[in-house]
Structure 1
Amino acid sequence: MAIYLDHQASTPILPIVREAMRPFWDEFHGNPHSSEHVTGWSASKAVELARSQVANMIAADPDEIIFTSGATEANNLAIKGIGNADNAQRRRNKILVSAIEHKCVLESAAYVARVHGFSLLEIPVDTKGYVDLGVLKRMLTEDVLLVSVAFVNNEIGTIQDIIEISKLCRSAGAIFHSDFAQAPGAVDLTDYADLADMISLSGHKFGGPMGIGALFVSRELKGHLEPLFHGGGQELGARSGTLALPLCVGFGAAAEFSASDAGAASRLKVERMRMRFVNALQAKSALIKLNGDVLTSRHPGNANLRFEGHDARDLLQRLQPVVAASTGSACSTGVTEPSYVLCAIGLTVEEAQSSIRFSLGHTNTPEEIQDAADAILNLL
């Protein structure tokens, strides 16, 4: 079995999450929206507990959490929901996104710009992936409706200064949305929720199941969000459709773990293994360079490494079936192109094409990390 170093793509389910979900695949099978019998009440109670667990992870209130199918839907709902709404701020006709946002943010913003006539502007980043706060401040004119900047980048692990970004947005009267998909595996989130008006989450990025996520929408903003789906009016009218009961339960359990002391300990363990992994590689080869900020200032499991003189895709193929990692450069059509994130921080096309994202997580062991490092070094 391959040594799995692609946790930022998807994390294996935590054992406590699997156990929490198990009864809801078997005996507890009710529709949480069935309000006329005890089976439906039990299902609804389980969903509301999960909603509270997710809310607690980011220090929000349960009624500010909207369950979705994942962060892609949450990001679409946040950006299109505000852009599509016939809101009183239509005089604000600009949307700002960072140059290194996930594709679903960039494409959602591009859709709103194309269909509704918004101006879409990219906020530049520096060589470490940080938003240029001086430029952002100048861009935040009185006609900006929405700013979207991810808290933690999915390729190079940059952790943005969202405290300062939030201050700038609020001073300008702009709505601030942040993609937190990678954040639960990186930091304790309880100090950050009130900094953003909308926050997107994804269960499978931090030990929960695939197919479930959430959008936090501040109470003040909820009435201004146009739904993507229309139907039964579930999730207070913001997201129609029957909720996936077992997935909600698993998502809640993962959120509870992330917010616990055990979650903090897990992040520290991963960070130590990541340090050991990078040090083992760089100690043996001067051709291995780190993309982005220093190791101590990024996602604790992230190591985006550049192998000078080597093609990353070739290296990954030669590592099979020993190590699973990714370049982050293959778009959904299957056409390979250099990572736009790496290009945005100033790498050349050649440098981007020699880079691999290794992302460690809770399933890894120190022994695996050493074996992975040895396997890589044997190919250089």
Structure 2
Amino acid sequence: MEQDWIYFDANASEPARPAALEALARAGAVTGNPSSVHRAGRQARAVLESARERLAALFGARAENCVMTSGGTEANLLAVAALGGGRRVLASAVEHDAVRAAAVAESIPVDGNGVVLLDVLGRMLAEPDARPALVCLMLANNEVGTIQPVAEAARLCRSHGALLHVDAVQAAGRIAVDLRALGADSLAISGHKFGGVKGAGALLLAGEATRTLTPVMAGGGQEMGRRGGTPALPAIAAMAEAAAEAVGALAAGNAASEMAGWRDAIEAAAVAVGAVACGAAAPRLPNTLSLALPGRAAQTQLIALDLAGFGVSAGSACSSGKVARSHVLEAMGLGPLAGEAIRVSLPWTTREEDVTRFIDAYRAMAARLPARRVTLEETGA
């Protein structure tokens, strides 16, 4: 990638950490299959189990309850499909599509900052004659960075006999994530979101989930019968190494506060030229902000910033040449802004000079792009 082109799309995928790439290479040189009983197989098994133990320790689970997957999407699918059987599935209105597509779910509304309404969840769980529920609540939103009150939701779930699955894909490595402390029954992570490489994730289990999880892919009985298929050993080793480095940086206490300072500087500059910071009144990930520029389509902003040397993403998905409105921002009640927001997500490689350059580029873009007319249909009039 060009040296003067700056990547601010970490929530899509973080740049790989050098230590993770070194672990990838070491594990890639291991020939054996972890399921083989000979020396090469035992060597591969040692790499796999070492990674499992490290990940479990870092995220508050027992090693035997850390199930390796191909990524966050599979981890979410496995949890919802296996734990939701026979249960009502309740999911927040701002869940990632990986959860939304896994089951037909009843939607739990959120407030204007994207925070789930716990009183409504409590009423949904208390409905008379309702089946026991599986509640899906992401720890941090991928578009606006909002951090959810998961521990409080877990207490509600326990009082009503419900299970709680947490999508922690965006949170892991950016804020403290501990399965036991959260009180969840399952938790999904993905290696490339915190500086590993693509192709590895994990589902961490606790409580009833450890006994009731059934595989979506039965395969050859790997992962103690919970997920079939030969594990992607190099990607798994890289994931464990990246997790250790990311969590270690958080524990040191400097990384998150510095990142949050850069996020806030971008936000202040953008708001000063007319942007709306979506979800800014709620606790957020230190690296994530959603900026809506009224009257300017998200896709137009993306192209302008790309030409200016910055890679960011939209709060909406692009399909067949059309920009769809963000279901997250719509659930937050932001109306036309749902199609006018971009996501800036700072990677671990961010430098202060990158932030300064981005602020200059954003100001220039906001001044240059003409605001389009809003239709009566968009206003709801």
1:377 paired with 2:363, answer yes
Q: Retained in 1: the 8 A contact 2:191–2:200?
A: yes
Q: Retained in 2: the 8 A contact 1:229–1:240?
A: yes
Deviation sequence 1:235-276 (CA, Å, 0-9, x none): 000001001111110011112123224665332332222122
Aligned amino acid, residue 29 of structure 1: T
Q: Retained in 2: the 8 A contact 1:129–1:293?
A: no
5+ long unaligned stretches in structure 2: 368-381
Structure 2 match to 1:135: 120
| 1:290 paired residue among 271, 277, 282 | 277
Q: Retained in 2: the 8 A contact 1:185–1:299?
A: no
Counterparts of 2:223 and 2:318, CA distance in 1 = 32
Q: Retained in 1: the 8 A contact 2:135–2:157?
A: yes
Q: Which is further off, 188-197 or 212-221? A: 188-197
SS in 2 for 1:371: helix
* Alpha carbons of structure 1 residues 288 and 7: separation in structure 2 relative to 1, 3 Å: same
* Alpha carbons of structure 1 residues 338 and 261: separation in structure 2 relative to 1, 3 Å: closer
Structure 1 match to 2:349: 363
Aligned amino acid, residue 52 of structure 1: E
Structure 1 match to 2:107: 122
SS in 1 for 2:110: coil
- Root mean square deviation, CA, Å: 1.8
Give 4+ residue runs of structure 1 displaced > 6 Å after superposition: none
1:104 paired with 2:103, answer no
SS in 2 for 1:97: strand
Aligned amino acid, residue 43 of structure 1: A
Q: Retained in 2: the 8 A contact 1:21–1:247?
A: yes
Report the CA distance between 1:294 and its aligned residue. 3.2
1:223 paired with 2:223, answer no
Deviation sequence 1:31-68 (CA, Å, 0-9, x none): 11112x21111111111111011111211110010000
Structure 2 match to 1:33: 35
Count residues with an aligned counterpart: 358
5+ long unaligned stretches in structure 1: 85-89, 111-119
Q: Give me the TM-score of the superposition, normalised by structure 2.
A: 0.89
Structure 1 match to 2:19: 16
SS in 2 for 1:182: coil
Structure 2 match to 1:172: 160
Structure 1 match to 2:75: 74
Structure 2 match to 1:267: 256
Structure 2 match to 1:116: none
Report the CA distance between 1:311 and its aligned residue. 1.7
Structure 2 match to 1:354: 340
1:276 paired with 2:265, answer yes
| 1:319 paired residue among 305, 321, 338 | 305
Counterparts of 2:277 and 2:357, CA distance in 1 = 20
* Alpha carbons of structure 1 residues 106 and 325: separation in structure 2 relative to 1, 3 Å: same
Report the CA distance between 1:328 and its aligned residue. 2.9
Q: Give me the TM-score of the superposition, normalised by structure 1.
A: 0.90
Counterparts of 1:13 and 1:318, CA distance in 2 = 26
Q: Retained in 2: the 8 A contact 1:152–1:182?
A: yes
Structure 1 match to 2:88: 94
